Amino acid sequence: MKAAIKFNIHNVTNGTNTARVWYSLDNRVDGRKCVTIYAKDYDRQLGNVFPSNYKNDTDTQTDYFDKGQVTLFEDHELYAPARARAEANALRNKARMEAKRARAH
């Protein structure tokens, strides 16, 4: 049985592994809808949560800053919950920025 993955505000978890992440929506040049989940840490926790979708193209000689990512497209079974979380985070961040601007003026 496959462990259920939960998409939280600041992390994703499969119940055993937790990875600190941030989300991005529809960031592809080809315009294909997707949710990209970026690791915040240099460990492989995101790869442990998503073993088949994890990507890290780090070249340790020049690219030491890449922390890894997972991209989910519309045909992926976890796309809908990942997109819902990413959209909720985007709204939350927008509200925070608007409140910050209002305080500044």
Q: Where are the domains of the chain?
A: 6-104
Three-state SS across 39-78?
ECCCCCHHHHHCCCCEECCCCCCCCCCCCCEEEEECCCCC
Q: Say how far residue 34 (Cα) sits from the centre of its chain.
A: 11
Helix (H), strand (E) counts: the chain: 2, 6
Instruction: Give the three-state DSSP class for 19.
Output: strand
Report pTM: 0.84
pLDDT tens column, 45-95: 999 999 888 887 665 555 556 688 999 999 999 999 999 999 999 999 999
